[in-house]
Structure 1
Amino acid sequence: MSSSSLLPSSPNERTEKPPNNPPRKSTTTLILPTLQTSLSTIGHFLLPECLIVHSPPQVLHETSWLDGLRGVAALLVVLQHEHAMVNMGLHRCYGYGHDDETRSLAYWPVVRLLFSGGSFAVMVFFYISGFVVPRRMIQMLHEGRQTEYMEALQSAIIRRHVRLLMPAFFSALLIIVFYHITGFEENWSGGRASNIFVEFLWWILDCLHTLNYFTAFAMRYNPVTWTIVVELKGSMAIFAWLFVVHRLRPQRRILLTLALSFFLVLFGLGSWFAAFFVGMLSCELDLLNASGELTHIWLPWTKISHYLAQHKRLHALVLNAGIILGLLFASTPMLKGPSAKEAIERCAWPETLFNIVPYHYWQNWPTLEYRDFWYFWGACLLGISIKEVKWAKSLFETNFAQYLGRHSFSLYLTHLVVGATFSRIIFILCGYSHLGGPDANWPFDRIAVGAWHDYFPASVGPQGLTPGIILNLMLTLPVMFFVAEMGTKVFDRPSVRLSQWVWEWYQLL
């Protein structure tokens, strides 16, 4: 083939290829997908869990029931604070002062937990933390992984501070921003700063004060954080104790932990911290039982355990009785009177139970330490029994209980701000005049007191079950759950990642 045959025979046969340049996109074409993605992300963020159609099924693990128990406990705290806005007397004894109002269903044992069970629920928090927080480290000790245990202990000490304090600090910051933007009357003592920048400075000082949790009580902007302070103290006490006894054999470690728990609750006025240690004790027994090692360890109750194991019906009866007793101890009412003796005589509650309470629990009368004694035993009995009773355990593994458990920390930290604004408005509309009226601050002075009274009166029905209260719970709880979900996404889950990052950063030092 000649070279000339490779050339076009005429100029008409010559063609030039167009440049391979993509068509220029308009600004709208570039921005629209980005805007759609952003709106989709925001919409997914704000979408409540109950509206997610294709949500993955939740896989239960060995301590899922504790997550559900924690969630239900958080809900009890919410219910107590909601009822306390309109009736502070629900803690009192049934029939106190021969008043018909105190003979309502809300004052009955066990039932009263739905109205005033938040104080007991806090003791349940402490027991659960004692069970869950040291679990991985105790398992390492059982497996003889001493070196890994020391690293895990160091990691837990560092991460625990971030895990608890970051949500507490950040939720308080969001509360400050909310009140300054909306202008609502603040729900913290001491008044509001002149502007938000001064408030930020006070918030920083409040955070620094709370960092010294050995002397702090609670954050100024979120009073419920007093339990976070106790959680930190209890966690550090567990870590220190576990370090002291980590070289002992499980039998001796269990017996020493049991002795420490009894000392704290009987002689040390330390029922809160005793709950942490009993939770840790329950965790170790649970791990030993799961591995089959518990049968090779002698404990004071070994013979009783073997006997009950051989008699299934009696075993089930004892465990169910433990649940009933735990609920009864959890129902211990608040006393009111000039002296403890006179208050006990007025109360329709077994006098023997009050007489069993050690003397030092009464020294600060009229404070409520005497209730903590029985709350401790109630929390321990429930924790130990529920784990072994199938029907009770399954209640806390239901979807709703697990939902509450996933958002329990955020629900606990955010419910007060919803109650102090949204709930208060509903209560005013239903006729609870002490929350509104011309003497109240904006915007509560602008709301017509009793505008809904004809439909949802505040003074009709048994105490704690008036139409106004029921309406408030029906409207408020969904709002609280939504806010709690947002809090879980904004500061709860990020605190887990941040705590891990802080630990990794610390290892590089």
Structure 2
Amino acid sequence: MSPVWRVLRFSAPAGSSRTAYLDGLRGFAALMVYWGHHQLWAHDGEGAQGIFENAYGYNGQYYFACLPGVRTLFSGGHFAVSVFFVLSGYVLSAKPLLLIQRGDLVALGDNLSSALFRRWLRLHLPVICTTFTYMTILHLFRIRAIPETKPTYLEEVRNWYIEFKNFSFIFRGGGDPWLTYNFHAWSIPVEFRGSIIVYTVLLAFSRCRPNARLCGHLLLIFYFLYIADGWFCALFVAGMLLCDLDLSASRGETPTILTSLEPWKKPIFYALFAVSMYLGGVPSENSDLQLLRDSRGWHYLSFLKPQAVFDYKWFYLFWAATLLVASVYRIAPLRAFFELPFNQYLGYISFAFYLVHGPVLWVLGDRLYAAVGWTRVSHPTTCPGWIDRFPIPRIGPLGMELSFLFPHIILLPVTLWLAEVVTRVVDEPSVQFASWLYGKLLAVEF
């Protein structure tokens, strides 16, 4: 099936499983990242960050898009990244935890060895290919976008190399945490560090009794949230905990404290989902706790923030993401939504979609927004010929204006198509190459 036809049909490769909803959730979260970045970019001249990233009514601003729950759909990028990390903890630990519960520690060692070897390559090869290609296109065609191009291509390649070598060393102690060729890739080194946490914890707890292992997960979460500023570590461990509980439940070994709540399971998970949606809208314009205290509906919640967490939003997003992933499977309509073909397709291309949506926004999106009437201070420099070429009235509520939605008739299909191409040409071959290389380097055939 061609990439164009697959995009039109919203179809992922055949195959389904009990955890298919997790793929759909990951895909929908990637769409929220795309949508949130476009909202902030197009509405930059309207002071978008101060509106979308604050609570309803803050500074006398009352917009439908900022209502609790609703705001997640317009500025849920950080919430989505938190969900990515919980899902990674869940998925990365699924096979190893199954082997641990079966007592097959030899196979566990083989699995963790292979997974850790392949993980850096699987995460970074797509970043290498996409950023290098984007850098080359910007320079060769002299496109004014993000970042500004260097005078010569050799200087451009050298700058890209220096940035990437620093970016890819996950234990660096300083410098910018992102690539200027794709700011949104900042989460990739965090993803790798979280993966190491997962594999290390799995190995450390592999010989523990089931209840002791669960308690170990809880203690680690407490440590990462309340003692050290390890919010991303807590998200990965939370995914492991949820996976461990689900696998135990499938074997009829759910802890007694949870089985006693079975009669109230439905209202409990609906309530947890509602709490997740509310916390997912935590004001996040900056890390000033006073901002949270001054926000409608957040004053008392602000006192829950632990001293250890510097940027308070990640504490609330930890609970929002963990409760969301825990709730989806237990809420049938929600699970069915994430199992829809379109969300499954988004899950299939989610990594590539995450990597390419920024460059598409900065090159094509910036010009289309300028053409329909959305202005940024950079437009006279980056795309003067596009300004107000096809002005469209700003009819509609904030974030849903006709002039904002119209460019997505082009932008969304182009981004989906490019993500499909990158998935097939870069992402999948990266996975296959990492597996092939590991097999070639094995000292003994297993």
Q: TM-score, normalised by structure 1?
A: 0.81
Task: Indicate yes or no: 2:232 matched with 1:272.
Answer: yes
Larger radius of gyration: 1
Match of 2:135 among 176, 198, 213: 176
Structure 2 match to 1:440: 381
Structure 1 match to 2:319: 377
Instruction: Return the letter of the residue paired with 1:209.
Output: N
Structure 2 match to 1:236: 196
* 1:271-314 deviation digits (Å, cap 9, x = unpaired): 211010010111111111112233xxxx4xx23x23332x2xx3
Match of 2:278 among 328, 352, 360: 328
Structure 2 match to 1:413: 355
Structure 2 match to 1:247: 207
Match of 2:18 among 62, 67, 75: 62
On the 8 A contact 1:70/1:125 being kept in 2, the answer is yes
- In structure 2, the CA distance between the partners of 1:202 and 1:45, relative to structure 1 (3 Å rule), is farther
Task: Indicate yes or no: 2:409 matched with 1:474.
Answer: yes
Please give the secondary structure, in 2, of the residue aligned with 1:407: helix
- In structure 2, the CA distance between the partners of 1:52 and 1:275, relative to structure 1 (3 Å rule), is closer
On the 8 A contact 2:12/2:341 being kept in 1, the answer is no
Q: How far is 1:361 from its partner? A: 3.3
Q: How far is 1:176 from its partner? A: 1.1
Distance in 2 (CA, whole Å) between partners of 1:147 and 1:140 is 9
Distance in 1 (CA, whole Å) between partners of 2:222 and 2:411 is 41
Question: How does 1:104-123 map onto structure 2 within 5 Å?
Answer: 104-123=63-82
Distance in 2 (CA, whole Å) between partners of 1:373 and 1:353 is 11
Distance in 2 (CA, whole Å) between partners of 1:467 and 1:229 is 37
Instruction: Return the letter of the residue paired with 2:239.
Output: G
- In structure 2, the CA distance between the partners of 1:57 and 1:106, relative to structure 1 (3 Å rule), is same
Distance in 1 (CA, whole Å) between partners of 2:421 and 2:385 is 29
Task: Indicate yes or no: 2:294 matched with 1:346.
Answer: yes
Distance in 2 (CA, whole Å) between partners of 1:56 and 1:180 is 34
Deviates most, 122-131 or 486-495: 486-495
Deviates most, 194-203 or 477-486: 194-203
Structure 1 match to 2:103: 144
Distance in 2 (CA, whole Å) between partners of 1:381 and 1:154 is 31
Structure 1 match to 2:260: 307
Please give the secondary structure, in 2, of the residue aligned with 1:351: coil
Q: How far is 1:178 from its partner? A: 1.9
Question: How does 1:24-173 map onto structure 2 within 5 Å?
Answer: 45-51=2-8, 58-85=14-41, 86=43, 87-89=48-50, 90-98=52-60, 102-173=61-132
Please give the secondary structure, in 2, of the residue aligned with 1:47: helix
Instruction: Return the letter of the residue paired with 1:247.
Output: R
Match of 1:284 among 231, 244, 250: 244
- In structure 2, the CA distance between the partners of 1:178 and 1:48, relative to structure 1 (3 Å rule), is farther
Task: Considering Cα pairs closer than 8 Å and 6+ residues apart, tell me whether 1 or 2 has the greater RCO.
Answer: 2
What's the Cα RMSD here?
Answer: 2.1
Distance in 1 (CA, whole Å) between partners of 2:368 and 2:70 is 25
For structure 2, the residue ranges without an aligned partner over 5 or more in a row are none
Distance in 2 (CA, whole Å) between partners of 1:392 and 1:435 is 41
Structure 2 match to 1:26: none
Task: Indicate yes or no: 2:443 matched with 1:505.
Answer: no
- In structure 2, the CA distance between the partners of 1:506 and 1:220, relative to structure 1 (3 Å rule), is farther
Please give the secondary structure, in 1, of the residue aligned with 2:22: helix
Q: TM-score, normalised by structure 2?
A: 0.92
Distance in 1 (CA, whole Å) between partners of 2:146 and 2:435 is 33
Aligned pairs, number = 435
